[in-house]
Amino acid sequence: RSGTLLIRGGTIQTAESALRADILVRDGIIAAIGDGLDTSGADVLDAGGLLVIPGGIDPHTHMEMPFMGEVSSDDFRTGTEAAVAGGTTMIIDFAIPEPGGSLIEAWRVWSERAKKAVCDYAFHVCVTHWSASVASEMETLVRDHGVNSFKHFMAYKGALMVDDGVLLSSVGHALSLGALCNVHAENGDAVAHLQKTLLERGITGPKGHPLSRPPSVEGEAAQRIIAIADVLGAPIYIVHVSTADATDAIGRARANGQRVFGEVLAQHLVIDDSVYDTDDFRSAAAHVMSPPFRPKSHQAKLWAGLANGTLQTTATDHCCFCAPQKANGRDDFTKIPNGTPGIEDRMSVLWHHGVRTGRLTPAEFVAVTSTNTAKIFNIHPRKGNVSVGADADLVLWDPNGTRTISAATHHQRVDYNVFEGMEVTGLARTTIAGGHVVWHENQLHTVPGSGRYVARPPFAPICFPHADTGAAG
């Protein structure tokens, strides 16, 4: 196929507007938008009746991640193939250092693993301990490796968890480097305490999982990190917000002028805690993720948060473990590897349950599945946009196409799907990543290694008066 592609007859839907126009793609870039374009030699894609949207960006995935004694089962090839099949054309994964280990080495290890990706990718780098060398590695990652975000776990005590001292040091330092910090907000001490109490009471099955992580565990941590960010004058991004409390805390902080961002998972928007209400270990364990699924009442607040701007991004926290891996926790729910799949279905779930129900407009759908993430992580307008000069990461989106989600047909390398049996309207007919058609008429046309690392520049220094001195003015 030629390096030139004409997308003809579609409606370009961005986070801003809808426009009937053709798109000319050349050498992986959007070369022209309009009518009557010079298209000699171009391959033509008919987008009649379809929307042309910026490819989805999933800001939270875990491909082939060593975690809780296992390695997540989707690797960077299979995971990104599933992504493009669902209309997602970029992921931001997490590079996690060995205990006490080097952040740069983690970035290198993840870079090596990601070489087989079929769409573009970047990494948040995790800070799991604090020292002068961590501080200097952060600086090197920002300066030389295109990293502008660092991740912290307030949960997973004894493994990835950091305390408030580390958070203060790291978030403050990141601010001085022009980087944004992410946090998994759950009080890890409270979780460890509740896990111990539940096990002592003989509650060893997966039902113990949500009991060990009630909404207040998340609410407390969300409020704490918001307060820490306020003390530092730093922006903060809270991953997988799953409760009304945490959403309200973010809303209050934003109303007070704090730059707090919130991410919500497709899974938490539509699945509730009734999934734990079964004696079928396999099914309950498949839904063990953190934060856990919540009582249905939380979902309205999450949807409202997306619509009113309290929450800006949607993700999946795609982290697959198959039944034999989940079975490690057969006699102890605290040993069930945490995580659920989702990358292939996020876009359809958001369209079906968001746009079709009137909770989101098509423009808001594009914003929360792509554009806002590109802006927050400083890769806009190259990503998350349909404009001349932007990367040709595009999806021909069929707003009326239907499919039934199932592990029997999905591309994710995992033996279940949390959305199993869900009939959804809205799907990717064709996905274009870096100018190449990688998904068309239900077929993958991917080339392992065609994905590229996306270097993300630091943020322009903003005046945060308390950042370095803590002094007034």
Pick 184 or 380: Cβ nearer ligand URP: 184
**Span 228-257, contacts to ligand URP by CB under 6 A:** none
472 part of the interface to Zn ion, by CB under 5 A: yes
Peptide bond into 291 cis (omega under 30): yes
Shortest spacing between CB 424 and ligand URP, in angstroms:
23
Q: According to CB under 6 A, which one of 11, 73, 338, 369 is a site residue for ligand URP?
A: 338
Residue 17: partners with Cβ closer than 8 Å, 6 or more residues away: 363
Q: According to CB under 6 A, which one of 56, 339, 399, 426 is a site residue for ligand URP?
A: 339
Pick 62 or 145: Cβ nearer ligand URP: 62
472 binds, among Zn ion, ligand URP, none (CB under 5 to 8 A by kind): Zn ion
Q: How far is CA 59 from CA 94, 110, 239, 267, in A?
A: 9, 15, 9, 14
User: Which runs of E-coded beta strand occur in 249-385?
Assistant: 260-265, 313-315
Q: According to CB under 6 A, which one of 134, 270, 315, 319 is a site residue for ligand URP?
A: 319
Rounded CA-CA distance 382/455 in Å is 11
Pick 207 or 466: Cβ nearer Zn ion: 466
339 binds, among Zn ion, ligand URP, none (CB under 5 to 8 A by kind): ligand URP
Taking CB under 5 A as the rule, which mask of x and - marks residues 179-218 in contact with Zn ion?
-----x----------------------------------
In contact, 87 and 397? CB cutoff 8 Å: yes
The closest of 93, 96, 86 to 59, measured between CA atoms, is 93
User: Which runs of E-coded beta strand occur in 22-144?
Assistant: 22-26, 29-34, 43-46, 51-54, 56-61, 66-67, 70-71, 88-95, 120-126
465 part of the interface to Zn ion, by CB under 5 A: yes
Rounded CA-CA distance 472/239 in Å is 31
Residue 401, H or E segment:
strand 394-404
Taking CB under 5 A as the rule, which mask of x and - marks residues 263-302 in contact with Zn ion?
----------------------------------------
Shortest spacing between CB 418 and ligand URP, in angstroms:
12
326 part of the interface to ligand URP, by CB under 6 A: no
**Span 283-312, contacts to ligand URP by CB under 6 A:** 289-290
> Looking at beta carbons, which residue is closest to ligand URP?
338
8 part of the interface to Zn ion, by CB under 5 A: no
Tokens of 75: 């690797």
184 part of the interface to ligand URP, by CB under 6 A: yes
Pick 209 or 429: Cβ nearer Zn ion: 209
Pick 42 or 106: Cβ nearer ligand URP: 106
> Total residues contacting Zn ion (rule CB under 5 A)?
4
The closest of 24, 33, 32 to 4, measured between CA atoms, is 24
Tokens of 455: 């270097």
208 part of the interface to ligand URP, by CB under 6 A: no
DSSP string, 34-63: ESS---TT-EEEE-TT-EEEEPEEEEEE-T
Q: How far is CA 257 from CA 59, 181, 208, 313, 422, in A?
A: 24, 18, 38, 19, 39
Pick 7 or 160: Cβ nearer ligand URP: 160
Residue 149, H or E segment:
strand 149-153
**Span 309-338, contacts to Zn ion by CB under 5 A:** 317
> Total residues contacting ligand URP (rule CB under 6 A)?
8
Q: How far is CA 281 from CA 208, 384, 416, in A?
A: 12, 40, 13
3 binds, among ligand URP, Zn ion, none (CB under 5 to 8 A by kind): none
In contact, 79 and 413? CB cutoff 8 Å: yes
Taking CB under 6 A as the rule, which mask of x and - marks residues 349-388 in contact with ligand URP?
----------------------------------------
Tokens of 123: 């990494």
Residues of this chain that interact with ligand URP (CB under 6 A) are: 62, 184, 289-290, 317, 319, 338-339
Residues of this chain that interact with Zn ion (CB under 5 A) are: 184, 317, 465, 472
